[in-house]
Structure 1
Amino acid sequence: MKRLVLLGAGHAHLLVLRAFAQSPPPDTELLLITPSRWQYYSGMLPGWMAGDYHMEQCRIEVAPQVAAAGGELILDSAVELDAGQSRITLASGRMVDYDWLSIDIGSSTNLGPLNGYAGQLLSVKPIDEFQGRWRRFVDNSSASGAGHLVVVGGGAAGVELAMAAANVVNHSQEGGGRVSLIAGDSGPVPGFNARLRRLATKKLERRGVTVIKQKAITRDGELTLADGTPLKSNAVIAATGAQAAPFLAQSGLSVDGEGFVRVNACHRSESHPQVFAVGDACSRIDGALNRSGVHAVRAGPVLADNLRAALAGLPPRPFRPRRYSLYLLACGDQTAIGSYGPLTFSGRWVWRLKDRIDRKFIEGFSAR
């Protein structure tokens, strides 16, 4: 009997579990290792902050998914991986050996220039910790006012979080507070088409968010803009990109310059063919994917097929992303902005579309 270890309960691994529940691979011992009994759906986080959802609507309980697939759930965190010995060391000290390994542990927030910030820092990842910090911020804002909340990071996540936060900050007390978005030199949502970027910038302004097209650093415990202007803030939300788990770089696996596992088009490790990696934890050698939940979800069924093939001694198949992906940005007021290739659209109907897609994903795991 072969042992397959799923390290992490990311979106792709949840889809692997669903596939295995319908048709378990024969002669396989299945283990899933994750530190939390919940997997939070990042696409609904801004909606939760804006008051559109309860947290219970934005998360999936992991244990029933593992049980349905006939596996064992280990609630623990990996602290060391020895790819040469095919062994994982957990925070509890337990060691887990594997024949096949799939890594879907996501990433943490790359705090980078925010290291040393002395104020209240709300790092978006991990989400289970962020939601607790955000609740405390909201409670304090209700009592004493929100003051100035700064969101650092001009990508899609930062833009959505800034607009969602405006719901709380602008109405936390009489006169409200204010929200600023430090979007970097390129401005909000770089990498998207020009029309979406214009719509996002205008919407941020209408939502009362001040957009600062500069980078920021921390100096003497305070935020400072690139031009030297100090930026007083009561709290900072860090949406500053992905940082790989430190143990990956010491694992013996081939990793890129940032410590993410290098994989081929089949999401198989470049250096260790018995290891697969998906989502934020990996870096495609062909450069075909950016780090997006859209790709992680679509890679899930292919990963399930490839793990099944590997266990049977068959070759895997590549995951080929679609030419265009649908991106939907929630604006915090039950409207949204969307893009699909060269097309851009906005309005309440776009938010309703996003709401339907997000709810459908969660509901797909709720019947376990």
Structure 2
Amino acid sequence: MITPPLPLTRDLVLVGGGHTHALVLRRWGMDPVPGARLTVINPAAAAPYTGMLPGLIAGHYRPEALDIDVVRLARFAGARLIAGLCTGIDPLARTVGVAGRPPVRYDVLSLDFGVGWENPAIDGFAAHAVPVKPMRAFARAWDRFAAHAAAGGAAPRVAVIGAGVAGVEIAMAMHHRLSDAGHTPRIAVIEARRALSGTAPRARDRLLAELAARGIALHEGDPVAAVTADRVVLASGREVPAGFIASAAGAQPQRWVAGTGLALTDGWVRVGPELRSTSHPQVFAAGDCAHLAHAPRPKAGVFAVRAAPVLTHNLRAALTGGRPRRWTPQTDFLKLVSLGGRRAVGERGGWALSGGWVWRWKDRIDRRFMRKFHDLTPMPGAARPRTVALGAAEARPHGQPPCAGCGAKLGGDALRRALLVLPDPVRADVARAPGDDAAVLTVGGARQVLTTDHLRAFTDDPWTLARIAAVHALGDVWAMGAAPQAALAQVVLPYMAPALQEATLREVMAAAAQVFAEAGAEVVGGHSSEGPEMTLGFTVTGLAERAPILLSGARPGDALLLTKPIGSGTVLAGEMALRATGDEVLGTLAAMQQPQGAAAAILAGAHAMTDVTGFGLAGHLGAMMAASGTAARVDLAAVPLLPGAERLAAAGVRSTLHAANRAGAGPVTAPDSAAAALLFDPQTAGGLLAAVDAADAAALLRRLREAGHDAARIGTVVAGPPMVTVD
């Protein structure tokens, strides 16, 4: 008898990808709590490490060196990632609002989302100043300006609002970057009160001397009154010319927190020594968004890092009924301040030291911290039994876990052989075209297309999975030129408590209903059951006003158009192996969610059309050529690829269906390259592949791109026996 896994009974939700939560995710991945479903909500794929920002500005580090990849961490931790912006919390309903989707339930909630940097009181700030956070946006803006200045397109004049440690570090880093390009920069730092007011006297004196040595002007006690495109106007009436205006001041609580009902201090979430909200015990907070009521401290990353072990322990205790731990942060800590070049000042306990060795010390500390997140390896699965049936060890010799999505399909050869046992249709109102995945029914004189598609979950986010599964199931209807009509859902949920089942099923149905409604169809019901993992599919009908577009209509001379990039199977396999970046994964998930209804309408006059799914571009193109009795030539360089797919393919990443697709694609001649390997990559919710009149191809391609599709002309149909030649 097979023992099912423990059911999921508790939802732990982390809002924000701050340093504390990053360490919590890492610890969770090494020792998860059975029965707890972990969710992390973060608007971006990565959370940059603030300690290395001055080095990035100065040009010492590449941007990826600072990235804590939240997508990879979530995969490592076995967590579902919701790439969205938190809009609010309802502690009575125990839900988190996320932009563009239904609220997310929680039993235990933890907050670590940082601070806001808006300064709405300053006229012109929003239009002309660049806050240091979000860091990615700031770094991009700074890079553009620095490159423009280096090329002589802008005067190297910069104003930095805020003369705390962060503002002073940023000003000296900018000075170094611009000086390194051969310019003499003019930089000013502006502070409404006293510069470096939170710094010990010796360190303050050294930092002020470093500013003076570089000719960086300091304006103290003179608040900013207005910001324009080329200057900062101070309250005294003085004007500071600048082509780039950075702001390291004005850190404040994010505005939506005020409406949560949580106990706050000056807008920060008030927590006690267990890092638990003083008003709502099921809510925890750490990092910059938290106020330690028992031991107030300045906003500093060192506290976020050192709170992580206690927060991890206490979240586990809240989920399991264990005993929480108390945390009181230290009163003093080492401060290492970059000086632009590869020098730094170190200060603790009133002492201050500086030099190149201090910068190297800081660099080693920063790089050691980041290695915790860059050097992730998948946790080992269950050990293989010593005694197995013959052939079991060879079935997956490299130990790669099976892919999901369309990567979980049966190989094309096995499927074709199995379908040979089906008898020929005998009903006059049922048509089954060779190679086409949908049936055509005649009902009362109308033509109805019927198809079904199911996916084994490749993401733990039910909302995203449901949207992709709906787009995927609609593919055959769109490819045959039919208008979507109705859908039935088939849902297998993992074993979980009734409250989690209801919330998960609600997410699935809401997401699916949204996709089908936009396509003009109705979700009319379905079937649900439990199983060891989530599987989701839809049976879809569509109405064809004219003869359906089949695989068999391609003609020599036709142009081949593809409406989406390929490579989703490789990127998803790379994510499973922790080798894909967060940006690559989120970009792939976004592409998979793009509906193809508008593209199908544009391609309504195609001679032949199919959706590119599990058998890969080569397999589906080969099936079209076999059905049409023609051949195809493909321009490999013209085939659009998802970001990261070719890199991962070159590194040897393959979907577990790749070998079967290559074997079953029919006669294909292709070079031995990473890009060519992607032709056999199984696609989930892939694009439409259409054979169209060559005279119409350019206009159709223009219309597809205007409609938002990353479409391309990838080749030509030619006369000859069915085969695909890739150049």
Q: Do 1:146 and 1:172's aligned partners in 2 also have CA atoms closer than 8 Å?
A: no
Q: Distance in 2 between matches of 1:348 and 1:64?
A: 34
Q: 1:155 matched to which residue of 2?
A: 164
Q: 2:38 matched to which residue of 1?
A: 30
Q: 2:75 matched to which residue of 1?
A: 67
Give the 3 Å change call, closer, same or farther, for CA 104–197 of structure 1 in structure 2.
same
Give the 3 Å change call, closer, same or farther, for CA 265–220 of structure 1 in structure 2.
closer
Question: Which residue, out of 81, 88, 94, partners 2:89?
Answer: 81
TM-score w.r.t. structure 1 length? Answer: 0.94
Post-superposition Cα deviations, 1:117-152, rounded to whole Å, max 9, x if no partner, equal 487321101112111111111122123233421001
Q: Do 1:38 and 1:60's aligned partners in 2 also have CA atoms closer than 8 Å?
A: yes
Q: Do 1:123 and 1:130's aligned partners in 2 also have CA atoms closer than 8 Å?
A: yes
* Structure 2 stretches lacking a partner, 5+ long: 1-8, 377-727
Secondary structure (helix, strand or coil) at the match of 1:109 reads coil
Secondary structure (helix, strand or coil) at the match of 2:342 reads coil
Secondary structure (helix, strand or coil) at the match of 1:56 reads helix
Q: Distance in 2 between matches of 1:343 and 1:193?
A: 8
Q: 2:253 matched to which residue of 1?
A: 244
Counterpart of 2:234 in structure 1: which amino acid? L
Q: 2:103 matched to which residue of 1?
A: 95
1:348 and 2:340 are equivalent in the alignment:
no
Secondary structure (helix, strand or coil) at the match of 2:150 reads helix
Higher relative contact order (CA 8 A, sep 6+): 1
Q: 2:114 matched to which residue of 1?
A: 106
Deviates more, 1:33-42 or 1:60-69: 60-69
Deviates more, 1:163-172 or 1:13-22: 163-172
Q: 2:174 matched to which residue of 1?
A: 165
The structure whose Rg is larger is 2
Q: Distance in 1 between matches of 2:363 and 2:337?
A: 11
1:207 and 2:235 are equivalent in the alignment:
no
**Aligned-residue offset at 1:112:** 5.1
Q: Do 2:26 and 2:73's aligned partners in 1 also have CA atoms closer than 8 Å?
A: yes
1:255 and 2:264 are equivalent in the alignment:
yes
**Aligned-residue offset at 1:173:** 5.8
Q: Distance in 1 between matches of 2:82 and 2:185?
A: 43
Q: Distance in 2 between matches of 1:245 and 1:118?
A: 16
Aligned residues: 365
Q: Do 1:149 and 1:169's aligned partners in 2 also have CA atoms closer than 8 Å?
A: no
Q: Do 1:154 and 1:181's aligned partners in 2 also have CA atoms closer than 8 Å?
A: yes
Q: Do 2:114 and 2:287's aligned partners in 1 also have CA atoms closer than 8 Å?
A: yes
Q: Distance in 1 between matches of 2:30 and 2:156?
A: 51
The within-5 A match list for 1:256-275 is 256-257=265-266, 259-275=267-283
Secondary structure (helix, strand or coil) at the match of 2:328 reads coil
Q: Distance in 2 between matches of 1:17 and 1:171?
A: 39
**Aligned-residue offset at 1:235:** 2.1
The within-5 A match list for 1:284-299 is 284-299=292-307
Q: Distance in 2 between matches of 1:81 and 1:351?
A: 41
Q: Do 1:120 and 1:234's aligned partners in 2 also have CA atoms closer than 8 Å?
A: no
Secondary structure (helix, strand or coil) at the match of 2:189 reads strand
Q: Distance in 1 between matches of 2:331 and 2:91?
A: 34
Give the CA RMSD over aligned residues: 1.8
Post-superposition Cα deviations, 1:83-142, rounded to whole Å, max 9, x if no partner, equal 221111111123101000000101121425544248732110111211111111112212
Secondary structure (helix, strand or coil) at the match of 2:87 reads strand
**Aligned-residue offset at 1:203:** 0.8
Q: 1:223 matched to which residue of 2?
A: 232
Secondary structure (helix, strand or coil) at the match of 2:265 reads coil
Q: Distance in 2 between matches of 1:117 and 1:276?
A: 33
Secondary structure (helix, strand or coil) at the match of 1:218 reads strand
Q: Distance in 2 between matches of 1:78 and 1:115?
A: 27
* Structure 1 stretches lacking a partner, 5+ long: none
Q: Distance in 1 between matches of 2:103 and 2:67?
A: 28
Counterpart of 2:16 in structure 1: which amino acid? G
Give the 3 Å change call, closer, same or farther, for CA 12–97 of structure 1 in structure 2.
same
**Aligned-residue offset at 1:220:** 7.6
Q: Distance in 2 between matches of 1:336 and 1:312?
A: 45
Q: Do 1:170 and 1:178's aligned partners in 2 also have CA atoms closer than 8 Å?
A: no
Q: 1:136 matched to which residue of 2?
A: 144
**Aligned-residue offset at 1:213:** 1.4
Secondary structure (helix, strand or coil) at the match of 1:14 reads helix
Counterpart of 2:162 in structure 1: which amino acid? G
Q: Do 2:123 and 2:226's aligned partners in 1 also have CA atoms closer than 8 Å?
A: no
Q: Do 1:102 and 1:275's aligned partners in 2 also have CA atoms closer than 8 Å?
A: yes
Secondary structure (helix, strand or coil) at the match of 1:308 reads helix
Q: 1:120 matched to which residue of 2?
A: 128
**Aligned-residue offset at 1:227:** 2.4
Secondary structure (helix, strand or coil) at the match of 1:295 reads helix
Give the 3 Å change call, closer, same or farther, for CA 334–220 of structure 1 in structure 2.
closer
Q: 1:47 matched to which residue of 2?
A: 55
Counterpart of 2:192 in structure 1: which amino acid? G
Counterpart of 1:166 in structure 2: which amino acid? H
Q: 1:281 matched to which residue of 2?
A: 289
Q: Distance in 2 between matches of 1:231 and 1:101?
A: 45
Q: Do 1:8 and 1:104's aligned partners in 2 also have CA atoms closer than 8 Å?
A: yes
Q: Distance in 2 between matches of 1:208 and 1:247?
A: 41
Post-superposition Cα deviations, 1:313-338, rounded to whole Å, max 9, x if no partner, equal 23422221123211100011100001
Q: Do 1:169 and 1:179's aligned partners in 2 also have CA atoms closer than 8 Å?
A: no
Q: Distance in 2 between matches of 1:112 and 1:251?
A: 22
Q: Distance in 2 between matches of 1:41 and 1:163?
A: 19
Q: Distance in 2 between matches of 1:205 and 1:6?
A: 44
**Aligned-residue offset at 1:172:** 5.0
Q: 2:379 matched to which residue of 1?
A: none
Question: Which residue, out of 16, 20, 40, partners 1:12?
Answer: 20
**Aligned-residue offset at 1:206:** 1.6
Q: 2:197 matched to which residue of 1?
A: 190
Post-superposition Cα deviations, 1:214-262, rounded to whole Å, max 9, x if no partner, equal 23223484522232222232221000042212111101111122x2111
Q: Distance in 1 between matches of 2:166 and 2:307?
A: 21
Counterpart of 2:225 in structure 1: which amino acid? T
Q: Distance in 2 between matches of 1:225 and 1:85?
A: 47
1:311 and 2:284 are equivalent in the alignment:
no
TM-score w.r.t. structure 2 length? Answer: 0.49
Give the 3 Å change call, closer, same or farther, for CA 65–16 of structure 1 in structure 2.
same
Counterpart of 1:198 in structure 2: which amino acid? D
Give the 3 Å change call, closer, same or farther, for CA 45–231 of structure 1 in structure 2.
same
Counterpart of 1:197 in structure 2: which amino acid? R
Q: Distance in 1 between matches of 2:147 and 2:100?
A: 34
Q: Distance in 1 between matches of 2:352 and 2:182?
A: 36
Q: Do 1:87 and 1:98's aligned partners in 2 also have CA atoms closer than 8 Å?
A: yes
Post-superposition Cα deviations, 1:288-309, rounded to whole Å, max 9, x if no partner, equal 3211111111111111011111
